[in-house]
Copies of this chain bind each other. A is one copy, B any other.
Amino acid sequence: MAPRPSYRLTRIPEMTIRRLSVYTRCLLQLEEDGVKTVSSQELADRFNLNSAQVRKDLAYFGEFGVRGIGYYVSGLKAELQKILGLDREWTVVLVGFGNLGSALSRYKGFARQGFRIVAVVDDDPAKVGREIDHMPVIASRDMAREIKARGAQIAIVAVPAESAQTVTDQLVAAGIKAILNFAPARLKVPRDVRLKNVDLSIELETLSFYLAKGSRS
């Protein structure tokens, strides 16, 4: 009944984490719709997954369900938010305020899950000193100071490929522990820093593979 100790050694599959994130959003919606309980089968149907998979994903972290009933929507939601670290605010710096950076800075989905961009970093003199939605734009030479002062844990990198590694080294030196990288560059980070690359082109390229295949075969 009690969640398992979180120091358990079982390695949790990355795909499980991603699905947990999906379940959470679904539960948020269900709660809004006033639904009280949900079964693994109902959850699975929404994403065409297997109900055993849903139960297994959850079972990595504890026993959240009630046999014969299913899961209590708001209880499970709260548990998953805690597991994913969405029950608190994360302090984020956004590096790069070009096209993509400015789009990301305005992206509402981040704030909604508790990711607060507290500073935007860009060296363009035309941008430095401005303030966008309460986010100050600062120069990179002030970045480390700001990160430490604010206790920022996460950085979003949206600079050109050429400057990505330099910026990353500065972020790491300043104590950043997780980086979401949009620059088309393979970044080197120490083992204890979590790095996630988002590649916008690769998705289009896989689509074109299937289109090309379709017109071939």
Contact = CB atoms under 8 A, between A and B. Distances in A.
Interface of A: 6-7, 14, 17-18, 20-22, 24, 47, 82-86, 88, 90, 92, 99-100, 102-104, 106-107, 109-110, 112-113, 115, 153-154, 156, 177-178, 180, 184, 186, 194, 196, 198, 200-214, 216-217
A47 to B, nearest CB: 8
Task: Name the 5 nearest CB pairs between A and B, nearest first.
Answer: A85-B212, A103-B103, A85-B208, A99-B103, A178-B207
A210 B99 CA distance: 29
17 contacts: A7-B216, A18-B206, A20-B209, A21-B209, A84-B208, A84-B212, A86-B205, A92-B204, A113-B204, A115-B204, A154-B211, A177-B214, A180-B207, A194-B207, A194-B210, A196-B206, A198-B203
Nearest to A105: B99
A6 B213 contact: yes
Contacts of A115: 204, 208
A186 B25 CA distance: 12
Secondary structure at the A interface, as helix, strand, loop or mixed, is helix
A14 B206 contact: yes
Contacts of A85: 208-209, 211-213
Nearest to A82: B212
A216 B186 CA distance: 29
Contacts of A213: 6, 85
B211 A178 contact: yes
Given A83-B209, A154-B207, A178-B210, A202 B18 contact: yes
